[in-house]
Structure 1
């Protein structure tokens, strides 16, 4: 010990120690620059050594061809390129090894809203200079989330042989993916995710990437490759850990049920979602991927029983089988997947299975270790009563049980879900009360109780500990009028939360609600539609709403009077005060408003001529069903961002604006039910974005604008109730084949229907009534696919965003007004009435089995009624009146069990009127009048032959009776009719 102490204080030892300490500190200082970090799984280094001169020059040449509006590359000026933004060098050699120029704003959100301006300004663009080839040691290249404006992916990327990481996703490249990428044999990570702008015709190059661990081809058009060929090449990658093939446009392809040999057995992530694969069996090879942690097959068409073999994938933590059309039992399988953290079975058909069984299977996991954090069972067919075992899912953060057939109350045990952040019970049709234990969910952020059938009130007790609640939504179900939860709180109640979004609709709020609303100073979105608020002037209510509001909806209330000239909402972007009784001139508010909905009020006066200056950012304008007059101001065409404009049902006059082609992104134009006149301006620049064009019930004249042929996405075209002349445009069915609703009724149009007019596979409504069309009815009607059979391409017209216009449909002898989003209620219809069509009704009409209305009345049609009409199972209205039809009424008309309106009057029909089924309820004689040779109920004319045999003969449709007897019967009736007529 003495020796040790003496050595420690020996001057020689001390000097050596100080020297070592100095060297160590120098080493640590130097080595601090060797810190390795993992960026997206790829190691990179920061550097202290100056970069190579040649590589610096290459980077400057690369920069020179780029567009950099935000100055992200402003640091690329000094001598040491290794210190530039986005550049990393190897510390030992000084070579550039990493180029990371991902848009930093790709995941930035402000106030829960995408900051599009910041994103666009920070996008790099321009061209990719091949000077990058001088960076021979570059192993990491990231250009994702920029905007290269449709240029092709550079082929020379395939010569960057040192690359291990390549990410050019969402960077607006286009064209074919260069096969030269197959030369990157060292590549571990490849992300080519693009918004359907890139494609590949041959994937042979993929099989050469033997080191690949991560492959993302999401939204790359692989329609010409085929799913079998695609999986064949992917199967050549033995090191693959993650495979993303979502939205690759391989619709209707069949997934191979088996593969000869599975090479990518190490796969841990597989995403095949949104491809609309069509198969009736589950692919067997999936069950061999026992290392899978994440499996996403959502939005495909498997339509098969839920596979029990899924229980073998015991490593699964994430399973999304939503929108697959699966059926059968699921509880036993799910009970084996004890590691699941995310499970979505949304939109399947597990009808008949009780929800109690499902939760029982979860509660019987080994040692009750339930790992589930997110569970989505919405609209999957489960039914029953929520069991108390629901409260055992202690790790659950997100629960969605929307659209299930549940009864009874929510169990009190729901208060045990201490981690729950999202609870969605929309449309589950429960008939019990909402437990006060809901107030124990202290982590709850989102609560959705909309579209339900529940009893009782929501009181302070339901919100006791909901300090984190940000989003609350309560809507009434349409059939639950007397049992809607009423927001009933005391006047002096101070909520424990600060909401960001509050949406209450079709529910009566209590008297203390307005005070509670005033305490919510952080509200961004407010929707209080049809909440039975009544106020002569809404100024008081508006003063109680947070000044931070961006989205405000007070529609369908009883507000009246005039609005204030100024609003206190500086951030307001969307306002909906529709369906009230507000009056005065059209109000115009903050310049940052992008959506203004004032429909169905009492606003009067002209539309301001300087609308473009007052509201320059306006995208959505709906002032329909008011008392506005004057002309449409020309300045409205200067609002180039306009997408939806509805001026329907006012008192506007004058001509349509000449410069409407300035609306480069317009989607919906509705100026119907006004007094507009003149020609619709025709320009070759009419935007191709137009989807809905309604000018019906005005005084327009001239021919249908030829330039509408540019609108290749047109869904609804309504020109009815005007004075248009000329023939049917040839572009309908050729250039434009997307139409779902075509209404040209009540015009002065003429000519024949061209054959290619049938090339409208998506058509649901065809109304050409009250014109001067002639010729025969085409036999090609069967080409209208959505009238023949329903498939997933038959979209059923839905309106853009929040816009729901109105359209008048003539059916069942009446004019019925429907909302544009109610096509399911309209049904499918063809109305060719009041024209000059001649010839026979084609037998092919019987193939349109989805029709609900067929009106061919007031034409010159001849021949017999085709018996194929009896096959139209959904037909509700059939009108063939006032033609020259002859022969018998087909006996199989008794099979039309949906028929509720029939008119065969004023033709030359003969024989017995069929009876049975639905026809017995159509007992109005006017349906058959004007056919003197018809007999039988409901007409007063008795058919010949009172004996049973004679009646059976007519009823069965057997016309084998003695020909001469029938001949003289009809001769005698005809002579009697003629003699009687002349006698009169």
Structure 2
């Protein structure tokens, strides 16, 4: 019997606990048994072999260790025993290196490496476990020598920024049980025949690998893997399965042990009836395909023996229409996800026969859930996602019976009722996420109920876009110390903010906009050092900004517009908020000059100081905003599209008392309009008036549909929509706009100013009105997109430990 131990600088007990909770415990069971029986003292006596130690040191040379994880990988005598090194597991009998655990997964609290996979791993012939996932190997190829590590049972190179073809040499890994190459930039250039040699494979993940060239043989190849339990081929560009490719399969035998089948985000148009005869199938993920037609027909193809074993069914993000099935034919179903389809009608009562149901996701459909007031479901749901369903007008009684729920999202559900006080006072202790926004929930709740003692596990609370009245003086009673997201915006709340924000030091997003709060902002807001978004827009706050806000050094978005703040713009904004991307102080009573310290905010891409009482000159250092020329800041923080970032660059200083010259380094717009602007199909707002532009306005449908005022004051410009002709052109045929068009433009422009007034070049020859740097394209959509994506990514963070749903 081979005894093994794993030391990485932590106690043996903690390491064992981490391994036990991994989803791969079945593959590590032998090692776990040995680890649990070995003491740390015994482990320290194990000495690695010199040749293998040198191989590890050579392997380390190929890695860039930005976080010092491998600091103990040294040749000095005190650190010479490689069996004590981070991520190394040795045999406690022979000293051979058996396993390398070098994942850069942030979920596990690790830090990623960069660099390359050194061929020195070939000098570790007894290696059975190799995990290099979630690192950055800079688009390098999978080394062919890995196919010579004949003892490998577990190989994980997922999320490792690899590219190129998958080497067919992997077919030599005849003992491999676990293979994960997903989420890189890999492709199959010939066929999948090499897979057929891996008769021991139990877990196979090739997700995000380009497989369309093997569209005709992938199903046949994997069907001959006799031990396969999990198959993940999502985002592989797989085309629809042809009937001819399915006709000769006996699925009950070919896929006898298959338990999990993940084919989401491909191009399938129907569920093969044969899938219904995989009698061991427990999880089926088919979201983001091209399924259409009626749901009852699709699910009928799963009515073979799979109907008894199926526990997870995900058909979300397709084009499935109504006619819902009899859900009672799936007695084992635990997770049902039909969200983002074209379903309508009423959810059948047969849903009440799913006594094992734990997750129900019908969000973004038009389904109605109408049950009798005294209906008590036989299930206790863990997660409920019913956004945009029709649950109202009264608050659903059946939801109050769910005492184990951790995620409850029923926003935009046509509820126009008060929430039962007894339910709010006794929320389930398991609750982590509560979203009841965008309804018509109303009433002035008593202080003891308005914000009650929420469960200590609560991380996400969204009560926005309702009709709540009254103060939030009971906010201090919330004992949810893990609260990361709090949104009470767009209600009718009023009064002073309580000075107790120090209770929620985990807060990342705080949105109180669109209410009637007044007086000073409490100093305790400064205790939120991890806060990334602060939105107090459209209230009645007054006084000076507390200097304690300078402690919120993680702030990326700060919107304090449309209040009555006064005093000077604080210098600490530039000194203490180095990550600030968007700063909005518009429509307040700020006076004095623009502080030079504001120029220290090098990542700013949105700066709105309009509609204040600011005087003095415009600092010449505004060109220090290097964020105005960089795309990656928000992409790095919230993984937003680079296209949006490249265009959303705004400075608005309009409606103040500024004097002097404009900073020529960053504000002058001079020359011809580049012709490439005509290719910007997402262009919706553009104002280049009163500059020094000349030449012909480039031709495009969108540019010529703009109002001529957008180009006014540039004496050298010509061509539509201006009446000024370019040399050699005839008079353009311009029809007069209709009254409706004029009205629509006026309403649009009014909304434009009301929410976030942008002084986009309303340059006037009399006095200085305002300035906008760069071009502004669909700014409202882009700005809201930024905030929405922040919320979405936070939600993903909250759900990182939950299973798919």
TM-score normalised by length of structure 1: 0.59
RMSD over aligned CA atoms reads 4.8
Task: Give the stretch that moved more between structures: 321-330 or 503-512.
Answer: 503-512
Higher relative contact order (CA 8 A, sep 6+): 2
Cα pair 2:704 2:721 within 8 Å, conserved: no
1:443 to 404, 416, 425: 404
- Per-residue CA deviations over 1:49-77 (Å, capped at 9, x if unaligned) read 53334544555666688747556654962
Cα pair 2:412 2:436 within 8 Å, conserved: yes
Cα pair 2:163 2:184 within 8 Å, conserved: yes
- Tell me if 1:501 matches 2:471: no
Cα distance change on mapping 1:335 and 1:231 into 2, 3 Å? same
Cα pair 2:282 2:312 within 8 Å, conserved: yes
Q: Which has the larger radius of gyration?
A: 1
How far apart, in 2, do the equivalents of 1:468 and 1:239 lie?
40
- The answer for the alignment partner of 1:718 in structure 2 is none
- Tell me if 1:290 matches 2:233: no
Matching of residues 191-340 of structure 1 within 5 Å: 191-194=156-159, 197-201=161-165, 203-222=167-186, 225=188, 229=190, 231=192, 234=195, 237-248=198-209, 256-257=215-216, 261-262=220-221, 264-266=223-225, 267-275=228-236, 279=240, 284=245, 288=251, 290-291=255-256, 292-302=258-268, 304-328=269-293, 329-336=297-304, 337-340=307-310
How far apart, in 1, do the equivalents of 2:338 and 2:608 lie?
38
Cα distance change on mapping 1:496 and 1:335 into 2, 3 Å? farther
Cα pair 1:641 1:663 within 8 Å, conserved: yes
Cα distance change on mapping 1:182 and 1:377 into 2, 3 Å? same
- The answer for the alignment partner of 1:576 in structure 2 is 535
Matching of residues 723-802 of structure 1 within 5 Å: 724-729=669-674, 740=683, 743=686, 745-746=688-689, 747-752=691-696, 769-770=711-712, 771=714
Q: Which runs of 5+ in 2 are unaligned?
A: 7-11, 36-42, 635-641, 655-659, 744-805
- The answer for the alignment partner of 1:467 in structure 2 is 429
Report the CA distance between 1:558 and its aligned residue: 1.0
SS in 1 for 2:598: helix
- The answer for the alignment partner of 2:343 in structure 1 is 382
- The answer for the alignment partner of 1:965 in structure 2 is none
Cα pair 1:327 1:350 within 8 Å, conserved: yes
SS in 2 for 1:533: strand
- The answer for the alignment partner of 1:921 in structure 2 is none
- The answer for the alignment partner of 2:764 in structure 1 is none
- The answer for the alignment partner of 1:658 in structure 2 is 623
How far apart, in 1, do the equivalents of 2:71 and 2:116 lie?
23
Matching of residues 685-724 of structure 1 within 5 Å: 690-695=646-651, 724=669
- The answer for the alignment partner of 1:172 in structure 2 is 136
Matching of residues 52-201 of structure 1 within 5 Å: 52-56=49-53, 59=56, 67=65, 69=67, 73-74=71-72, 77=78, 80-102=81-103, 106-108=106-108, 119=109, 123=111, 146-148=112-114, 151-157=115-121, 160-177=124-141, 178-194=143-159, 197-201=161-165
- Per-residue CA deviations over 1:118-151 (Å, capped at 9, x if unaligned) read x5xx63xxxxxxxxxxxxxxxxxxxxxx222xx2
TM-score normalised by length of structure 2: 0.70
- Tell me if 1:424 matches 2:424: no
Report the CA distance between 1:160 and its aligned residue: 4.7
Report the CA distance between 1:271 and its aligned residue: 1.9
Equivalent residue pairs, number: 674
- The answer for the alignment partner of 2:802 in structure 1 is none
- Per-residue CA deviations over 1:703-728 (Å, capped at 9, x if unaligned) read 997xxxxxxxxxxxxxxxx8732113
Give the helix-richer structure, 1 or 2: 2
SS in 2 for 1:222: strand
Q: Which runs of 5+ in 1 are unaligned?
A: 1-27, 109-118, 124-145, 478-482, 670-685, 706-721, 777-830, 841-858, 863-878, 883-897, 904-984
Cα pair 1:488 1:513 within 8 Å, conserved: no
Cα distance change on mapping 1:168 and 1:606 into 2, 3 Å? same
SS in 2 for 1:552: strand
SS in 1 for 2:146: helix
How far apart, in 2, do the equivalents of 1:378 and 1:694 lie?
37
SS in 2 for 1:458: coil
Cα distance change on mapping 1:881 and 1:495 into 2, 3 Å? closer
Report the CA distance between 1:255 and its aligned residue: 7.0
How far apart, in 1, do the equivalents of 2:622 and 2:454 lie?
53
How far apart, in 1, do the equivalents of 2:120 and 2:367 lie?
59
Report the CA distance between 1:263 and its aligned residue: 5.3
Matching of residues 342-741 of structure 1 within 5 Å: 342-354=312-324, 357=325, 360=326, 362-365=327-330, 370-407=331-368, 409-411=370-372, 415-463=376-424, 464=426, 466-477=428-439, 483-484=440-441, 488=445, 491=448, 497-498=455-456, 499-509=458-468, 514-515=473-474, 518-522=477-481, 524=483, 525-535=485-495, 538-539=496-497, 541-543=498-500, 546-548=503-505, 550=507, 551-565=509-523, 567=525, 569-571=527-529, 573=531, 574-588=533-547, 589-595=549-555, 596-616=558-578, 618-628=580-590, 632-640=594-602, 645-647=607-609, 654=618, 655=620, 657-661=622-626, 690-695=646-651, 724-729=669-674, 740=683
Report the CA distance between 1:282 and its aligned residue: 8.3
How far apart, in 1, do the equivalents of 2:454 and 2:592 lie?
51
Report the CA distance between 1:222 and its aligned residue: 3.2
How far apart, in 1, do the equivalents of 2:370 and 2:472 lie?
25
Cα pair 1:338 1:371 within 8 Å, conserved: yes
Cα pair 1:409 1:432 within 8 Å, conserved: no
- The answer for the alignment partner of 2:725 in structure 1 is 836
How far apart, in 1, do the equivalents of 2:474 and 2:363 lie?
31
- Per-residue CA deviations over 1:541-562 (Å, capped at 9, x if unaligned) read 4548945461322110012333
SS in 2 for 1:94: coil
SS in 2 for 1:338: helix
- The answer for the alignment partner of 2:731 in structure 1 is 860
- Per-residue CA deviations over 1:299-318 (Å, capped at 9, x if unaligned) read 3344x345444323332211
Cα pair 1:350 1:380 within 8 Å, conserved: yes
Report the CA distance between 1:453 and its aligned residue: 0.7
Report the CA distance between 1:428 and its aligned residue: 0.5
Cα distance change on mapping 1:166 and 1:838 into 2, 3 Å? farther
Report the CA distance between 1:459 and its aligned residue: 1.1
Cα distance change on mapping 1:321 and 1:639 into 2, 3 Å? same
- The answer for the alignment partner of 1:132 in structure 2 is none
Cα pair 2:103 2:134 within 8 Å, conserved: no
Cα distance change on mapping 1:532 and 1:70 into 2, 3 Å? same
